[in-house]
Copies of this chain bind each other. A is one copy, B any other.
Amino acid sequence: MKNEYVLGIDVGGQTSKLGVVSSQGEVIAQSVIRSDTYGSDSAAFINALAAAVKDVVAQAGVEIKGIGVGAPNGNYYTGCIKSAPNLEWARTNEVHLAEDLSKALGGIPVTLTNDANAAAMGEMAYGVTKGMKNFIMITLGTGVGSGIVIDGKMVYGHDGFAGELGHTIAIDGGRPCGCGRKGCLEAYCSATGVARTALERLAQSDEPSLLRSVEKISSKDVYDAAKKGDKIALEIFDYTGYILGKAMANFVAFSAPEAIVLFGGLARSKEFLDEPIKRGLNENVLGLWRDKIKVLYSALKESDAAILGASALAW
């Protein structure tokens, strides 16, 4: 069989990664451009992206059939990015990324979706959920995103914004969230949520902890301390994992997935999160699902998963 090729693009807050992907899922050429040096000028970003596409395709020496893009707040139906807090050029205005990038490249088809959906598609095509028809991907990064697959298909919903599980309420009347509401899952189970929990815990007692000497605590610091057996750091992961597992119990009642897959920076703390996640899930889920839902961790390299997922969109 002749190999065919598409291009996957992962648009992130700091950088955007491009990869030419074969129909076998092999990334045969890659490049990176910055996403954060265009101020609010979305046209300048799209021009730079189009130039980078031409370069990486020339480097690969193949023809591509289409382009798939994963981006924060990317909408599959409209092809637009809107109200993306981490992309200055898409913070207030609506950016017609799919249409404008396609135009800049002579009409090649461009399909857009949000970054968590792209990760879910990458996982379904090449990762731990290969061949699975019903699963939920939860991305644990700076924020908490999600991509929901039902009956082998991405769920986009009526308006293309389905799968905002990071903004379901995990703790009634809890911490303020960046979205303007209180108690969202994202306020607890993201990397920033873990750092906030650390500050709360340290303030609650005088117990010694390695974290007390850290100047600006990140989730990585909490991980490092937990590795050394720090009691407070371990408690922070226990608290975080249990909240996530408990929230997952409600997600299961919605779509009865075969598995929930965790992805992103914080998911690398699996050794500390896995037990409290499963405890939170199984103590709170409806009896018929107790001990039946698989909790999996993505094994794809993060940058690959996003490019592969975006490319899966282009096929």
Binding site for B on A (CB under 8 A): 83, 133-134, 148, 150-151, 153, 155-165, 167-169, 171-172, 179-181, 246, 249-251, 253-258, 284, 286-289, 292
Chain B residues whose CB sits within 8 angstroms of the CB of A253 once the complex forms: 163-165, 167-168
Please report the C-alpha to C-alpha distance between residue A253 and residue B172 in the assembled complex, in whole angstroms. Answer: 16
Interface pairs (29), CB distance under 8 Å? A83-B288, A134-B158, A148-B255, A150-B150, A150-B155, A150-B157, A150-B162, A151-B153, A151-B155, A151-B156, A157-B255, A157-B257, A158-B257, A160-B256, A161-B288, A163-B254, A164-B286, A165-B253, A165-B254, A167-B253, A169-B246, A169-B249, A169-B284, A172-B172, A180-B287, A181-B284, A250-B250, A251-B254, A254-B255
A171 to chain B, nearest CB (A): 8
Chain B residues whose CB sits within 8 angstroms of the CB of A167 once the complex forms: 253, 286
Main SS class of interface, A: loop
Most chain-B CB neighbours within 10 Å: which of A134, A249, A250?
A250
Please report the C-alpha to C-alpha distance between residue A286 and residue B83 in the assembled complex, in whole angstroms. Answer: 13
Q: Are A157 and B256 in contact (CB under 8 A)?
A: yes
Please report the C-alpha to C-alpha distance between residue A233 and residue B233 in the assembled complex, in whole angstroms. Answer: 49
Please report the C-alpha to C-alpha distance between residue A257 and residue B255 in the assembled complex, in whole angstroms. Answer: 14
Q: Are A134 and B157 in contact (CB under 8 A)?
A: yes
A135 to chain B, nearest CB (A): 8
Please report the C-alpha to C-alpha distance between residue A133 and residue B155 in the assembled complex, in whole angstroms. Answer: 12
Chain B residues whose CB sits within 8 angstroms of the CB of A284 once the complex forms: 169, 181
Contact with A148, one of B83, B169, B171, B254 (Cβ below 8 angstroms): B254
Contact with A286, one of B155, B181, B246, B288 (Cβ below 8 angstroms): B181
Please report the C-alpha to C-alpha distance between residue A179 and residue B162 in the assembled complex, in whole angstroms. Answer: 29
A229 to chain B, nearest CB (A): 31
A184 to chain B, nearest CB (A): 8
List the 4 closest A-B pairs by CB distance, nearest first: A157-B256, A162-B256, A158-B258, A134-B158
Please report the C-alpha to C-alpha distance between residue A287 and residue B73 in the assembled complex, in whole angstroms. Answer: 13
